[in-house]
Amino acid sequence: MYVYRVSTSSPDPDREQALRMHLAGLIRGAREQMGLSQAAFERALAAALGVEGLGAMTLSRYERGDRVPSWGTLAAICEVVTGRKEALAEGVAAAFERLPAPSARKRKESP
């Protein structure tokens, strides 16, 4: 049985776990919404990554939150789901654009 261990260097392992499980649900939900089996989604993901195939159980581990995809794999997952190569970068950029202007953000006080 594969056991994912949360890094002890994480400043907030509970938050890391919650984010990992949220990402797992998003990946699984997107695949299901597309009406694809895990095998079909794995084939599409392998094609987007430019490889012949994925390791056994890789997608299943992502969907259970046992494993977190690398940035490159996450970008390929976003490409499979949206049909756009830049989907991940666009999503991250959009999130940063919604941040308040620097002058409106509270700054941490130095000791």
Please spell the DSSP secondary structure of 13-48, one letter per residue.
Answer: HHHHHHHHHHHHHHHHHHHHHHT--HHHHHHHHHHH
What average pLDDT is seen over the chain?
87
Instruction: Give the per-residue pLDDT at 1.
Output: 47
Q: How many Cβ atoms are within 10 Å of 76's Cβ, its own excluded? A: 23
Q: Indicate if the pLDDT at residue 85 is higher than 90.
A: yes
Q: Indicate if the pLDDT at residue 9 is higher than 90.
A: no
The burial of 7, by beta-carbon neighbours within 10 Å (0-12 exposed, 13-18 middle, 19 or more buried), is given as exposed
Q: Indicate if the pLDDT at residue 4 is higher than 70.
A: no
pLDDT tens string 20-69: 999 999 999 999 999 999 999 999 999 999 999 998 899 999 999 999 99
Q: How many Cβ atoms are within 10 Å of 1's Cβ, its own excluded? A: 3
Percent of the chain residues past pLDDT 90, beyond the cut: 68
Round to whole Å and give the CA distance between 87 and 77.
9
**Nearest-5° Cα angle at 26, 25 to 32:** 85
Q: Does the predicted model carry a pTM greater than 0.85?
A: no
